[in-house]
A and B are shown apart, each in its own frame.
Chain A
């Protein structure tokens, strides 16, 4: 659905490249977490995907169309929810909904009727009086009811209370699942990602460190505790693929990022007893070279 090719961006000519992505695609339903330290390029990436930033080089295509060049025709399908997007402060929530609805022939009335009681936003109040969490929920309502195929959320989840984040993520998940929509969320809150995302794109200084399903990451990163048995003949185990190995000839441990059950069989055949341990996602991100600060 979305395909990125040779994308590079710097905010001024000759200045530092803030984004450098040779290739990246998004075509699955579900939530993908865009993860990385502050300044790693998360916001720039989302803005390029939405067609709001003209990349210095390369392009982002949505259904074969360049999102920057064809912004007017793709904008009904791709919705970016960002912190800076202003809500008209002098209007009440109801007035704002009516305004946005009147401008959009694609409006999903059934979803509006479903979301309004669930999100519990005080819509009689002026938008400017709403709390941050309430404004966020209003933005999500206004975004999803326009029936987008791609939803981009930029840091909306930062310093929001747990309850609001939970509701927003649940609505995004339900929407994605029912409409087969692609949802990208820039966030560093690992607890939300573990529950609500299927895949992560890990960025560092504008480059991709990893783009992978979370389950697949958890399945391939393993720690194996090792202990020799009487059958062990002293064979070296260095040739078995590993990232880190501690082995004094009788006990130790092996860390691998490419786990395969064959490894356990090989070790056991050599007379070494094994015990398999897993890593939490946060530690996997660190091992991939990522940082969330």
Chain B
């Protein structure tokens, strides 16, 4: 599993892990039903403590992304990728709304706004 974490980053490691595993699932790099590495394997690979990995897995289970079967392992849940993509689409809509609100409060018109989006698009 292609994951890299940065312990010096301010975001807790378990949260970094959750985000990266989710994005691997949503992008189809980890498919439905496939099993994730064991807590010990991932701790060994990433050189972080096992409890942090366990915390990330439990967090993903609580969010309905994976299922943990005791003594067997952690599996990507059926439909997790689709749900994730939907959640990301909702997030994008919300982000766009926020940007539009900000534009309206500064009296920026729709054409001007779209122009700026296009300009910025290339540079991001």
Which A residues are closer than 8 A to B by beta carbons?
29-31, 166, 170, 173-174, 176-178, 191, 194-198, 214-215, 218-219, 229-231, 277-281
Contacts and interface: CB of A to CB of B under 8 A. Distances in A.
A73 B9 CA distance: 44
Interface in B7-41: 7-15, 39-40
Nearest to B39: A177
A12 B112 CA distance: 77
B47 A166 contact: yes
Given A31-B49, A170-B44, A174-B50, A279 B10 contact: yes
B68 interface: no
Helix, strand, loop or mixed for chain B's interface?
helix
Contacts of B52: 198
Q: How many B residues are at the interface, by size bracket?
A: 20 to 34
A13 B36 CA distance: 58
A280 B51 contact: no
Nearest to A271: B105
Contact of B105 (A30, A194, A197, A229): A229
Interface in B71-118: 102, 105-106
B49 A195 contact: yes
A177, A219, A278 interface centre (most CB from chain B within 10 Å) = A177
A215 B102 CA distance: 33
A198 B40 CA distance: 16
